[in-house]
Structure 1
């Protein structure tokens, strides 16, 4: 595609807000209490980029004894920690500033629920910049790796998919971007480049590099 794009769509967790290290510890510790002891690396491999429903189903298949109502319980644990401790991804504010200066709109497309994004984006001071352009798997039929949430963001903005760039940090999300026929950049500051490289158009390890990659 010709750069700059007409719309940039960001994943939320791990791209806008540095929530995944906090969330992964909570998932590991909670599953251990329910009979499934796995490492942080296994949590990352199995669950990052997915949904909490997917975590629940996979964990049960692996032997975790998760009670009815577990989803509400784990979300409550996660929300409490994120509300107190989550920080923005380093450099993301400068990226949004550069997009604003260039007049290029941006949006969020996440597998997380709206309540989670409300918490993390509010604490990090990003929500005012994204209001009205925040899309969740709750808004579409299928979560990532299906392209639904990214296609919805593009449709709402009135931008053709092939004029969009997706910024992702998970293989599941990158597959969603590619399935949407969008140029997909993989942010690998905390992700394994080998998992993203085959399904991304470009990889980058610092948000400082993103404005140049976008042609700003």
Structure 2
């Protein structure tokens, strides 16, 4: 909400929950009265300037019918400039771009840019200042355990052997929320010890591949 902040970068390793955090932010922003437009762009892994321009244009309901990067950047800039109080979210940047080359001017009309990436360097190269770069870190063990138990659907693991397997699974997830939730959902409501052993072995084999 700070008018002096124009770009925010969120970074962390794969599966740490960056997109989930930004989805919650997006949901809050579209319900608030602080911004007139909130746009979400899921950036493809093999993104280029042309592809990114197309994706942004599609998100804002604008058509780019030119193949010249500079002309497209100017047209996209003008389209964004006509919209006031904008938040543009770019989820999944794998490398940096020059914002002017894309057509984004973060200082115009209060336009703010929020990006997610696996790299702190991408945040820096995109123009984020140090205090506006946020690292998402793995969950501590107690929070990882709580998240697993909430999603596995068992209030209490009464079988000591199942409880030990659950602890092994949680530790093997290394605090990554997506891994924790995925494993918990596979074992939701399961009380067969053989199935728990099978899922643990399967998960450990996946980690070693």
TM-score normalized with structure 2 length: 0.33
Give the number of the structure whose alpha-carbon radius of gyration is greater: 2
TM-score normalized with structure 1 length: 0.32
